[in-house]
Chain A
Amino acid sequence: MTPFDLAEPATLQEAIALLDPDDPTVRPIAGGTALMLMMKAGVFRPGKLVSLRNVKDLTSIDAAPDGSLRIGAMTPLAAVERSAAVRAHAPVITRTMRTLSNIRVRNVATIGGSLAHADPHMDMPPVLIALGAHVVAASPAGERTIPIETLFAGYYETVLARNELIASVVIPAQGARRSAYLKCTTRAVHDWPALGVAVAVESDGATVRDARVVVSAATETPTRLAGAEQALRGGAAGNALWRQAGEAAAAEAETISDGQGSAAYKRQLVRVYVARALAAALEPDGAN
């Protein structure tokens, strides 16, 4: 690592002012678990880091009476994991945390950072997309709302401006929707996933009314699979339908080859894991 400047502003506005819309060597740092690895590997050589650690009022978790959740961007993942409100209103997040990296990372990494880093292997993006969540982002131009499914512009790229920061994550009330997240690793249990699948399904028990199906890690960005969702809508809940959705997902997902597996193999994983995730979401004692 080479020397760099470090700023530690106390407010979100100060932090935004310290960022530079034109200089890629100036970056915000939240928990730093991902960015530090890039710095140690020499992939990223910062001129200045703007630490968000001291920024006030970014670490609360609030549940509204309707069951929607607002999570401050600097909330550590471990706090999200332990939150009773999150467990009550979006238990799929609580369950996902158990296998999200390890407790040392979860103690430090933040929910905002896990989105802004835009690494397609991360677990939170597909889950939050399936839940229909959005972020509130702040910049000198003011605040705007960005659905998380449109947040990612590419591999490690978001639509955020260089001087725009995620302030909070908002998860709408889930009502009767039931969700599940499954991930598949191929080289070690603790490896980055070769595939993540998040699903959220609305059904009356017999018929699927609506569904969201999201794949990550195997694709360049976390991606909703419209064909699989279409295949599910109005279908009779059950293994035959889950397999049908898996087939549709496999046909549709643009998987990429890398060290975790070939594109063709990952397509097979999509086929299998989409069906398994749907079954897990609707299992009586499994997910909801």
Chain B
Amino acid sequence: MATLTQVGRSVPRLEGQAKVTGRAEYVHNQRLPGMLYGKIVRSTIAHGRIVKLDVSAAQALEGVHRVVTIDDVLKVVPNPFYGPAFHDQPILAAGKVHYVGEPIAVVLARDPHVAEAAAQLVEAEYEELPAVFDEVEAMTSKAIVHDELKPAGTFPDLKHLKGKRDTNLALDFHLRRGDVAAAMAEADHIFEHTFRTQQVLHLPLEPYVSIGEPTDTGLTIHTASQSPSFVRIEIARLLGWPENKVRVKVPYLGGGFGGKLYIKLEALVASLALLVRRPVKISLTMEEQFYTLTKHASTFRIKSGIKDGRITARECEVWWNGGAYADIGPRITQKSGFTAPGPYDIDNVSIDSYSLYTNLTPAGALRGFGIPQLVWAYESHTDMMARALKLEPVEFRRKNLLSDGRPQATGTLMKDAAIAAVLDRVALRMNWSGPFDRGSGTVKRGRGIAIGFKASISPTTSIAIVNVAADGSVTLYCSTVDMGQGSDTANAQIVAEVLNILAERVKVVHPDTDVTPYDMATLGSRSLYHMGNAVRLAAEDARDKLAALARELGLPEGSNVPVAELFQKKYKMQAGNSIGTGSYIPSYVPPDASGQTPEATPFWMVGAAGVEIEVDTETGHVRILKLINVVDAGRPINPRIVETQISSAAVMQLGFTMQEKMEFDAGQVTNASLADYKIPSILDIPTDMQNEAVEAEQGSGPFGGKGVGESGTFAVSPAIANAIEDAVGVRLTALPLSAEAVYRALREAQGAPLEE
């Protein structure tokens, strides 16, 4: 490859200045003429039939424009159910509510304070139904969340669930490889453990916000969404319109993390705008985010057979708490199921992964698409086995790692996955083989390591347009959403590399479905790879067209005439464009009935963590002294942004590991505020945090690059639990690793458990 000048350079973020000076555009700040504000009225019970919904007092309040219920919505959307996997979620509750916080009505007013006051006046009466909250109980529960399952039809593996009754199971994924029973029978040792994770929240500092704007030709939706193309297609489907009547515009996002995907408020504001023929804006409060989408709580039973220090058999059973609506949960269940046995070379594997409905806030993707839940379990398990077998934990891992060319659990051969290199770099930075101060008195020290991996979701499509104007300036049109991850800058660097210009000179047009082409969504670390490839192809297409123009004008090959002069020669003035397009979809083979496929994913992501900690044995407080994060990101397109992606992912997972937990009482979130749900602040972040992307290259990626948004999350939780056991000899199997949980485990180990 020729020397790269734009790729591999830490170009400052193109939007940096606009953001820090408060000029960047966000939906939150948008106001349209005649706009109404909507305030959502929410269910106060977890499961029940709506017996009565009295909106008269709210409607009577001065300043209220209209109070809308599902009966009104039905006038514009006769079949008001949406969702990426199941058409299970109604635009407003239709007859039944399925979780506390479910929208049952909306008050519209010119003044948002009036809408809020009136929302308090809506009275609902319910006939309560039995509810189920736990994912394992949901498997056999008599409480059934949905009367009938309604798969969307877009996923072939969900078709058999159509119309199914009396079940909470929204997907079951099964994988069988080798002969687990035989291998277990031959094993020297068998270990079995169960691990749990809690409900946590995306909590972008810009909460969910959307505006519906009726237009002469259809409808424009301004929305803080990670998936503008999906929004357009799904809204068009709900309205029975062609796609081109729906325009979806997305400026910058104040964070997304997998929350702002698919349909959140968009179907609601679309219906409201069409009903009242005025722009309608709904901005959720921080508190309302707790009633919109969570990360899946999970239970993972894992069992391994060991022979001669090698893992020869592994059995995985995973239950995912999907909440009241499936959202993308079934996809998480399947795709993360692919890698549930971990980055290990195991011949005999069985995986059963279950997506379950419960009467809680719906769960969806959150920075890792299920992977952090799995790594939490299999890397805690790995350490527990090494400890029991008195094997050095890093050596035990090395002996079992998957290497390139070997088949992974799905049968797909590993390729361009720097698993061993990532583990080695963590161990080196930890000085793992060196001496370690174990603390003294009531303060003990410990250290831990963990490693995880992920198969990128597949197959998904990205399309890009690169437009070279007559003066040679370049504009990129694509529907990737820059929600803080730096995609505008990275994509500009790819264009610039191909066209041999400075990345800072490329203009990136933000998603506007009237203008920018289709993209599946900005999720799962897919954009740098998929859109990056499409952007590269589009730029190459534009470059080739310019070369063709030069040939047409009779210029000798490689004459390097400036672009502006080419256009001048062709059109006799500053006129014309060279438009390149690029479309990318990787090859993919769906898994067979045993979960086997030769092509499960276009690329693998690898992330490892190492921690040194201190435990106060009198209180259980854990202090993280050092956190090392190493990933395989292929060749970093923008090294500085890659580093911040690694560190921000690790810090987010640190919050999910040590601090964050949604507390529930009969399905009601009891800590739905930032005062009581604590995300990490700068004071919670270890002072010694090191982040590294190993030297690697993704052969099929744009300039050797691949996604990195999630890799830093994978291994943080088990690394810390492993360090806690190393320090004080107790093992925690449920997140979060709170001081009280550690202290209780210590007391338990002393034979003097603390009373409840």
On A, residues with C-beta under 8 Å from B are 1-3, 37, 41-42, 184, 186-192, 259, 261-262, 264-265, 268-269, 272
Contact = CB atoms under 8 A, between A and B. Distances in A.
Contact of A187 (B113, B117, B618, B738): B738
8 contacts: A188-B659, A188-B683, A192-B675, A262-B740, A262-B756, A264-B756, A268-B754, A272-B618
B287 A187 contact: no
Contacts of A265: 740, 743-744, 754
Contacts of B404: none
A33 to B, nearest CB: 12
Given A189-B684, A264-B755, A269-B619, A2 B744 contact: no
A186 B683 contact: no
B681 A188 contact: yes
Secondary structure dominating the interface of B: loop
Nearest to B683: A189
Interface string B125-146: 0000000000000000000000
A2 B673 contact: no
A272 B618 CA distance: 7
Contact of B684 (A3, A186, A188): A188
A261 B736 CA distance: 13
Given A188-B681, A191-B678, A264-B755, 13 more contacts: A41-B287, A184-B619, A186-B739, A188-B659, A189-B681, A190-B678, A190-B683, A259-B671, A262-B756, A264-B756, A265-B743, A265-B754, A272-B619
A259 B676 contact: yes
A105 to B, nearest CB: 12
B755 A259 contact: no
Contacts of A261: 739-740
B56 interface: no
Contacts of B740: 186, 261-262, 265
Nearest to B442: A272
A190 B673 CA distance: 15
B663 A259 contact: yes
Contacts of A264: 754-756
A210 B283 CA distance: 57
Interface of B: 113, 116-117, 120, 287, 618-619, 659, 663, 670-671, 673, 675-676, 678-681, 683-684, 738-740, 743-744, 754-756
Nearest to A192: B675
Nearest to A184: B619
A94 B744 CA distance: 35
Contact of B675 (A37, A184, A186): A37
B33 to A, nearest CB: 24
Given A2-B117, A184-B619, A259-B663, A268 B681 contact: no
A72 B287 CA distance: 36
Q: Max chain A CB contacts within 10 Å: which of B113, B670, B743? A: B743
Contacts of A3: 113
A172 B673 CA distance: 39
B443 to A, nearest CB: 12
B113 A188 contact: no
B116 A2 contact: yes
Nearest to A2: B117
Contacts of A268: 618-619, 743, 754
A268 B113 CA distance: 45
A262 B747 CA distance: 15
A257 to B, nearest CB: 9
A191 B670 CA distance: 16
Contacts of A269: 619
Nearest to A272: B618
Contacts of B287: 41
B755 A188 contact: no
A282 to B, nearest CB: 19
A41 B676 contact: no
A188 B619 contact: no
Contacts of B671: 259
Given A191-B678, A265-B754, A272-B618, A41 B684 contact: no
Nearest to A185: B678
A216 B679 CA distance: 24
Contact of A188 (B673, B679, B743, B754): B679
Contacts of B117: 2
A190 B681 CA distance: 7
A261 B680 CA distance: 18
A1 B113 contact: yes
B348 to A, nearest CB: 42
Contacts of A187: 659, 678, 738
A119 to B, nearest CB: 11
